[in-house]
Amino acid sequence: MLTIENIQKVNGTMMNFDGEIIFCTKVEQVNDSVRNSYTFEFDIGIPMVELVIWLDRNKDIEHNGYCIENNLVDAVNHIDIENLKTYSDFQFMLQDYLDSIQNDIKKNFFTN
């Protein structure tokens, strides 16, 4: 099972979303009957809706990685956590995922 030391350090981290700076507003570890994951919430400018990214703590053996997905669009990726050696690597991985879902979110939730 994946355990990330000092996961709360992500709270307040600056990211880029569509050329704007956004911040991680909440970090949690979820252990319930549906999920065993870390969640990262971001305010991306949709009134009363946060972007929530889930990083599963159980490795998906079939895809040889940890599943990362979100609450707004279908975009499931599998990442190899072993390649993330530093906090900067982890931050880059989150930014890369944000970049990969940005266009679909803009198309589905923004009018411009």
Give per-residue pLDDT as tens, 12-52. Answer: 999 999 999 999 999 999 988 878 999 999 999 988 999 99
**Residue 112 pLDDT:** 63
The pTM assigned to this predicted structure is 0.91
Print the domain residue range for 53: 7-105
Q: Is residue 54 part of a domain?
A: yes
**Contact by Cβ (8 Å): 30, 37:** yes
Q: Is residue 21 part of a domain?
A: yes
Q: How far is CA 100 from CA 30, 44, 69, in A?
A: 24, 15, 11
Provide the number of structural domains found in the chain.
1
Secondary structure class of 95 (helix, strand, coil): helix
Q: Is residue 2 part of a domain?
A: no
Q: Is residue 1 part of a domain?
A: no
**Residue 5 pLDDT:** 84
Q: Is residue 85 part of a domain?
A: yes
